[in-house]
Amino acid sequence: MRMILIAGGWSSERAVSLAGARKIEIALNALGHEVRRLDPASEFADLVPAAAAADFAFINLHGSPGEDGLIQAMLEEAGCPYQGAGPKASFLALNKAAAKAIYALHGLRSPGWRLFCGLPDEDKACGLGWPVFVKPNTGGSSLGMSLVREPAALAPALDKVFTLGQEALVEACIQGVELTCAVLDETSLPVIMIRPKAGAAFFDYDNKYADDGAEELCPAPIDPALALEVQRMALCAHRALGITGYSRSDFMADATGPYILETNTLPGMTATSLLPKAAAAVGLSFEDLVSELVRMGLEAQAARARQTIQARLAGPGAA
Protein backbone atom coordinates (compact mmCIF):
# COMPACT_ATOMS: atom_id res chain seq x y z
CA MET A 1 0.00 0.00 0.00
CA ARG A 2 0.95 3.64 -0.42
CA MET A 3 1.53 4.92 3.08
CA ILE A 4 2.15 8.28 4.66
CA LEU A 5 4.01 8.10 7.95
CA ILE A 6 3.07 11.19 9.94
CA ALA A 7 5.69 12.10 12.53
CA GLY A 8 7.48 15.05 14.07
CA GLY A 9 5.01 17.84 14.69
CA TRP A 10 5.57 20.82 16.95
CA SER A 11 4.96 19.51 20.46
CA SER A 12 7.69 19.15 23.09
CA GLU A 13 7.71 15.42 22.25
CA ARG A 14 8.87 15.94 18.67
CA ALA A 15 12.17 14.09 19.20
CA VAL A 16 10.39 11.04 20.61
CA SER A 17 7.99 11.02 17.66
CA LEU A 18 10.83 11.10 15.13
CA ALA A 19 12.76 8.37 16.94
CA GLY A 20 9.77 6.04 16.81
CA ALA A 21 9.08 6.89 13.17
CA ARG A 22 12.49 5.62 12.12
CA LYS A 23 11.70 2.18 13.52
CA ILE A 24 8.16 2.18 12.11
CA GLU A 25 9.40 3.11 8.62
CA ILE A 26 11.79 0.16 8.61
CA ALA A 27 8.92 -2.16 9.59
CA LEU A 28 6.53 -0.76 6.98
CA ASN A 29 9.16 -1.13 4.25
CA ALA A 30 9.84 -4.69 5.35
CA LEU A 31 6.11 -5.39 5.09
CA GLY A 32 6.20 -4.26 1.47
CA HIS A 33 4.59 -0.84 1.78
CA GLU A 34 5.62 2.31 -0.09
CA VAL A 35 6.28 4.93 2.60
CA ARG A 36 6.34 8.72 2.44
CA ARG A 37 7.32 10.61 5.59
CA LEU A 38 5.23 13.69 6.36
CA ASP A 39 6.03 16.17 9.15
CA PRO A 40 3.11 18.46 10.06
CA ALA A 41 5.58 21.04 11.38
CA SER A 42 6.82 21.77 7.85
CA GLU A 43 4.26 20.11 5.57
CA PHE A 44 0.91 20.80 7.22
CA ALA A 45 -0.64 22.10 3.99
CA ASP A 46 0.35 18.86 2.25
CA LEU A 47 -1.43 16.62 4.76
CA VAL A 48 -4.91 16.45 3.22
CA PRO A 49 -3.75 16.11 -0.43
CA ALA A 50 -1.23 13.43 0.58
CA ALA A 51 -3.88 11.59 2.62
CA ALA A 52 -6.36 11.69 -0.25
CA ALA A 53 -3.77 10.05 -2.50
CA ALA A 54 -2.64 7.45 0.06
CA ASP A 55 -4.05 4.06 1.01
CA PHE A 56 -3.22 4.45 4.70
CA ALA A 57 -1.74 6.92 7.18
CA PHE A 58 0.37 5.68 10.07
CA ILE A 59 0.38 8.32 12.81
CA ASN A 60 3.32 8.54 15.19
CA LEU A 61 2.76 11.91 16.82
CA HIS A 62 2.79 12.72 20.53
CA GLY A 63 0.99 15.61 22.15
CA SER A 64 -0.66 18.16 19.87
CA PRO A 65 -1.16 17.71 16.98
CA GLY A 66 -1.81 14.00 16.77
CA GLU A 67 -2.99 12.89 20.16
CA ASP A 68 -5.54 15.73 20.30
CA GLY A 69 -7.58 14.32 17.40
CA LEU A 70 -6.81 17.08 14.87
CA ILE A 71 -4.83 14.90 12.47
CA GLN A 72 -7.40 12.10 12.73
CA ALA A 73 -10.23 14.48 11.86
CA MET A 74 -8.33 15.74 8.82
CA LEU A 75 -7.59 12.19 7.66
CA GLU A 76 -11.26 11.27 7.95
CA GLU A 77 -12.20 14.26 5.81
CA ALA A 78 -9.72 13.02 3.20
CA GLY A 79 -11.14 9.48 3.44
CA CYS A 80 -7.80 8.03 4.51
CA PRO A 81 -7.63 5.09 6.93
CA TYR A 82 -5.33 5.41 9.96
CA GLN A 83 -4.53 3.39 13.07
CA GLY A 84 -5.80 4.01 16.57
CA ALA A 85 -8.30 6.28 18.28
CA GLY A 86 -10.62 8.66 16.46
CA PRO A 87 -10.85 12.43 17.02
CA LYS A 88 -13.19 12.39 20.02
CA ALA A 89 -11.42 9.64 21.95
CA SER A 90 -8.03 11.22 21.20
CA PHE A 91 -9.18 14.60 22.53
CA LEU A 92 -10.66 13.15 25.73
CA ALA A 93 -7.65 10.96 26.51
CA LEU A 94 -5.03 13.65 25.90
CA ASN A 95 -6.73 16.01 28.34
CA LYS A 96 -5.82 14.41 31.68
CA ALA A 97 -8.50 16.25 33.64
CA ALA A 98 -11.21 15.24 31.15
CA ALA A 99 -10.00 11.63 31.18
CA LYS A 100 -10.10 11.55 34.98
CA ALA A 101 -13.70 12.77 34.91
CA ILE A 102 -14.56 9.93 32.50
CA TYR A 103 -12.70 7.42 34.69
CA ALA A 104 -14.79 8.47 37.70
CA LEU A 105 -18.00 8.11 35.69
CA HIS A 106 -17.06 4.49 35.00
CA GLY A 107 -15.94 3.63 38.52
CA LEU A 108 -12.19 3.70 37.85
CA ARG A 109 -10.13 4.88 40.81
CA SER A 110 -7.67 7.69 40.12
CA PRO A 111 -5.54 9.82 42.49
CA GLY A 112 -7.12 13.01 43.78
CA TRP A 113 -6.50 15.98 41.51
CA ARG A 114 -7.08 19.66 40.88
CA LEU A 115 -6.76 21.70 37.68
CA PHE A 116 -4.89 25.02 37.86
CA CYS A 117 -5.13 27.65 35.12
CA GLY A 118 -3.20 30.22 37.17
CA LEU A 119 -1.33 30.52 40.44
CA PRO A 120 -3.47 29.87 43.54
CA ASP A 121 -4.12 32.65 46.02
CA GLU A 122 -2.28 30.68 48.69
CA ASP A 123 0.50 28.08 48.66
CA LYS A 124 -1.70 25.05 49.00
CA ALA A 125 -2.83 22.17 46.82
CA CYS A 126 -6.52 22.23 47.67
CA GLY A 127 -6.41 19.58 50.36
CA LEU A 128 -4.50 16.95 48.37
CA GLY A 129 -1.73 16.75 50.96
CA TRP A 130 1.98 16.47 50.20
CA PRO A 131 3.78 15.46 48.09
CA VAL A 132 1.93 16.11 44.83
CA PHE A 133 2.79 15.82 41.17
CA VAL A 134 2.43 18.88 38.97
CA LYS A 135 2.19 18.11 35.27
CA PRO A 136 0.97 19.67 32.00
CA ASN A 137 -2.67 18.76 31.52
CA THR A 138 -2.17 17.71 27.91
CA GLY A 139 1.52 16.80 27.86
CA GLY A 140 3.35 13.51 27.80
CA SER A 141 6.75 11.85 28.23
CA SER A 142 6.87 13.42 31.74
CA LEU A 143 8.05 16.70 30.20
CA GLY A 144 7.34 19.65 32.51
CA MET A 145 6.46 17.35 35.40
CA SER A 146 7.58 18.09 38.98
CA LEU A 147 7.31 16.24 42.27
CA VAL A 148 6.42 18.89 44.85
CA ARG A 149 7.08 17.99 48.46
CA GLU A 150 6.20 21.25 50.23
CA PRO A 151 3.89 24.26 49.73
CA ALA A 152 6.71 26.70 48.90
CA ALA A 153 7.66 24.65 45.82
CA LEU A 154 4.17 24.61 44.32
CA ALA A 155 4.23 28.01 42.58
CA PRO A 156 7.56 27.38 40.76
CA ALA A 157 6.28 23.99 39.59
CA LEU A 158 3.07 25.56 38.31
CA ASP A 159 5.06 28.29 36.55
CA LYS A 160 7.12 25.59 34.84
CA VAL A 161 3.92 24.22 33.29
CA PHE A 162 2.43 27.62 32.47
CA THR A 163 5.65 28.49 30.62
CA LEU A 164 4.82 25.61 28.26
CA GLY A 165 1.51 27.34 27.50
CA GLN A 166 -0.57 24.77 29.34
CA GLU A 167 -2.87 24.49 32.31
CA ALA A 168 -1.50 22.40 35.18
CA LEU A 169 -2.86 19.21 36.68
CA VAL A 170 -1.95 18.81 40.35
CA GLU A 171 -2.30 15.19 41.42
CA ALA A 172 -1.94 13.43 44.75
CA CYS A 173 1.22 11.32 44.91
CA ILE A 174 0.56 7.61 45.39
CA GLN A 175 3.46 5.85 47.07
CA GLY A 176 3.75 2.41 45.54
CA VAL A 177 4.64 0.46 42.42
CA GLU A 178 4.44 1.96 38.93
CA LEU A 179 2.70 -0.23 36.37
CA THR A 180 1.51 0.12 32.80
CA CYS A 181 -0.82 -1.97 30.67
CA ALA A 182 -1.51 -1.82 26.94
CA VAL A 183 -4.68 -2.88 25.16
CA LEU A 184 -4.49 -4.28 21.65
CA ASP A 185 -7.66 -5.13 19.73
CA GLU A 186 -9.83 -5.27 22.89
CA THR A 187 -7.33 -7.52 24.70
CA SER A 188 -5.17 -6.42 27.61
CA LEU A 189 -1.49 -7.25 27.14
CA PRO A 190 0.78 -8.32 30.03
CA VAL A 191 1.32 -5.72 32.75
CA ILE A 192 4.75 -4.08 32.91
CA MET A 193 6.40 -2.93 36.15
CA ILE A 194 8.59 0.17 35.96
CA ARG A 195 11.49 0.67 38.35
CA PRO A 196 13.09 4.12 37.87
CA LYS A 197 16.87 4.07 37.96
CA ALA A 198 18.64 4.86 41.22
CA GLY A 199 18.34 8.48 42.25
CA ALA A 200 15.31 9.28 40.06
CA ALA A 201 12.32 10.74 41.87
CA PHE A 202 9.90 9.34 39.28
CA PHE A 203 9.63 7.87 35.75
CA ASP A 204 10.89 11.02 34.00
CA TYR A 205 11.95 11.67 30.39
CA ASP A 206 15.47 10.34 30.90
CA ASN A 207 14.15 7.18 32.58
CA LYS A 208 11.82 6.58 29.66
CA TYR A 209 14.17 7.02 26.73
CA ALA A 210 17.79 6.69 27.86
CA ASP A 211 19.54 3.40 27.19
CA ASP A 212 20.41 3.19 30.89
CA GLY A 213 16.96 4.36 32.00
CA ALA A 214 14.34 2.65 34.13
CA GLU A 215 14.12 -1.10 34.52
CA GLU A 216 10.96 -2.40 32.83
CA LEU A 217 9.84 -5.86 33.85
CA CYS A 218 7.38 -7.74 31.64
CA PRO A 219 5.37 -9.59 32.78
CA ALA A 220 5.37 -7.58 36.01
CA PRO A 221 6.46 -9.60 39.08
CA ILE A 222 3.28 -8.79 41.02
CA ASP A 223 0.40 -10.69 42.57
CA PRO A 224 -1.74 -12.26 39.79
CA ALA A 225 -4.87 -10.71 41.27
CA LEU A 226 -3.32 -7.24 41.02
CA ALA A 227 -2.24 -7.90 37.43
CA LEU A 228 -5.77 -8.97 36.50
CA GLU A 229 -7.25 -5.84 38.09
CA VAL A 230 -4.83 -3.58 36.22
CA GLN A 231 -5.69 -5.36 32.96
CA ARG A 232 -9.40 -4.97 33.71
CA MET A 233 -9.01 -1.27 34.43
CA ALA A 234 -6.92 -0.69 31.31
CA LEU A 235 -9.58 -2.28 29.11
CA CYS A 236 -12.35 -0.40 30.93
CA ALA A 237 -10.54 2.93 30.40
CA HIS A 238 -9.96 2.05 26.73
CA ARG A 239 -13.69 1.46 26.25
CA ALA A 240 -14.86 4.33 28.46
CA LEU A 241 -12.87 6.85 26.41
CA GLY A 242 -14.17 5.33 23.17
CA ILE A 243 -10.74 4.26 21.94
CA THR A 244 -10.39 1.83 19.04
CA GLY A 245 -7.40 -0.29 18.12
CA TYR A 246 -4.86 0.19 20.86
CA SER A 247 -3.94 2.23 23.92
CA ARG A 248 -1.72 2.11 26.98
CA SER A 249 -2.78 3.14 30.49
CA ASP A 250 -0.43 4.00 33.34
CA PHE A 251 -1.03 3.09 36.98
CA MET A 252 0.31 3.39 40.51
CA ALA A 253 -0.49 0.61 42.95
CA ASP A 254 -0.22 0.72 46.74
CA ALA A 255 -1.44 -1.68 49.44
CA THR A 256 -5.06 -0.77 48.61
CA GLY A 257 -4.78 -1.59 44.92
CA PRO A 258 -4.21 0.23 41.61
CA TYR A 259 -4.97 3.84 40.66
CA ILE A 260 -5.18 4.79 36.99
CA LEU A 261 -3.15 7.87 36.05
CA GLU A 262 -3.70 8.41 32.32
CA THR A 263 -4.34 6.69 28.99
CA ASN A 264 -2.19 7.11 25.88
CA THR A 265 -3.85 6.77 22.47
CA LEU A 266 -0.59 6.81 20.49
CA PRO A 267 1.83 4.87 22.72
CA GLY A 268 5.53 5.23 22.05
CA MET A 269 7.11 3.09 19.34
CA THR A 270 10.82 3.66 19.99
CA ALA A 271 13.32 0.89 20.69
CA THR A 272 12.77 1.39 24.45
CA SER A 273 8.97 1.87 24.38
CA LEU A 274 6.56 -0.10 26.51
CA LEU A 275 3.93 -1.19 23.94
CA PRO A 276 6.41 -3.11 21.75
CA LYS A 277 7.79 -4.74 24.89
CA ALA A 278 4.32 -5.94 25.96
CA ALA A 279 3.54 -7.13 22.44
CA ALA A 280 6.79 -9.11 22.35
CA ALA A 281 5.75 -10.84 25.58
CA VAL A 282 2.79 -12.39 23.72
CA GLY A 283 4.87 -13.33 20.67
CA LEU A 284 4.38 -10.27 18.45
CA SER A 285 7.52 -8.89 16.83
CA PHE A 286 7.72 -5.18 16.07
CA GLU A 287 6.79 -5.89 12.44
CA ASP A 288 3.88 -8.05 13.62
CA LEU A 289 2.67 -5.22 15.85
CA VAL A 290 2.85 -2.65 13.05
CA SER A 291 1.03 -5.03 10.70
CA GLU A 292 -1.71 -5.59 13.28
CA LEU A 293 -2.16 -1.84 13.80
CA VAL A 294 -2.57 -1.37 10.06
CA ARG A 295 -5.09 -4.20 9.88
CA MET A 296 -7.17 -2.71 12.69
CA GLY A 297 -6.99 0.73 11.10
CA LEU A 298 -8.40 -0.62 7.85
CA GLU A 299 -11.19 -2.35 9.74
CA ALA A 300 -12.01 0.87 11.60
CA GLN A 301 -12.21 2.76 8.30
CA ALA A 302 -14.61 0.13 6.91
CA ALA A 303 -16.76 0.49 10.03
CA ARG A 304 -16.86 4.29 9.61
CA ALA A 305 -17.90 3.85 5.97
CA ARG A 306 -20.74 1.52 6.99
CA GLN A 307 -21.94 4.01 9.60
CA THR A 308 -21.94 6.81 7.02
CA ILE A 309 -23.99 4.72 4.59
CA GLN A 310 -26.47 3.73 7.31
CA ALA A 311 -26.86 7.36 8.39
CA ARG A 312 -27.58 8.44 4.81
CA LEU A 313 -30.11 5.66 4.33
CA ALA A 314 -31.83 6.57 7.60
CA GLY A 315 -32.31 10.14 6.37
CA PRO A 316 -32.27 13.47 8.20
CA GLY A 317 -35.30 12.66 10.32
CA ALA A 318 -33.78 9.52 11.90
CA ALA A 319 -33.22 9.50 15.64
**Annotation marks residue 292 as catalytic:** no
Q: Are residues 123 and 101 in the same domain?
A: no
Q: Are 220 and 182 in contact (CB under 8 A)?
A: no
The sign one gets for the Cα dihedral 166, 171, 174, 179 is negative
Exactly one of 82, 209, 246, 259 is catalytic; which is it? 209
pLDDT tops 80 at residue 196: yes
**Annotation marks residue 262 as catalytic:** yes
**Annotation marks residue 25 as catalytic:** no
- Per-residue confidence band for 175, with pLDDT thresholds at 50, 70 and 90: very high
Distance CA 303, CA 249 (A): 25
**Annotation marks residue 216 as catalytic:** no
- Per-residue confidence band for 200, with pLDDT thresholds at 50, 70 and 90: low
Q: Is residue 304 part of a domain?
A: no
The residue-averaged pLDDT of 160-176 equals 92
Q: Are residues 157 and 12 in the same domain?
A: no
Exactly one of 11, 90, 137, 141 is catalytic; which is it? 141
- CB within 8 Å of 121: residues ≥ 6 apart: none
**Annotation marks residue 141 as catalytic:** yes
Q: What domain range includes position 12? A: 2-83
**Annotation marks residue 150 as catalytic:** no
Note the pLDDT tens digit of each residue in 23-69.
999 999 999 999 999 999 999 999 999 999 999 999 999 988 989 99
Q: Is residue 223 part of a domain?
A: yes
- CB within 8 Å of 295: residues ≥ 6 apart: none
Q: Are residues 156 and 214 in the same domain?
A: no
**Annotation marks residue 250 as catalytic:** yes
Distance CA 186, CA 261 (A): 20
**Annotation marks residue 209 as catalytic:** yes
Q: Are residues 230 and 98 in the same domain?
A: yes
Distance CA 172, CA 111 (A): 6
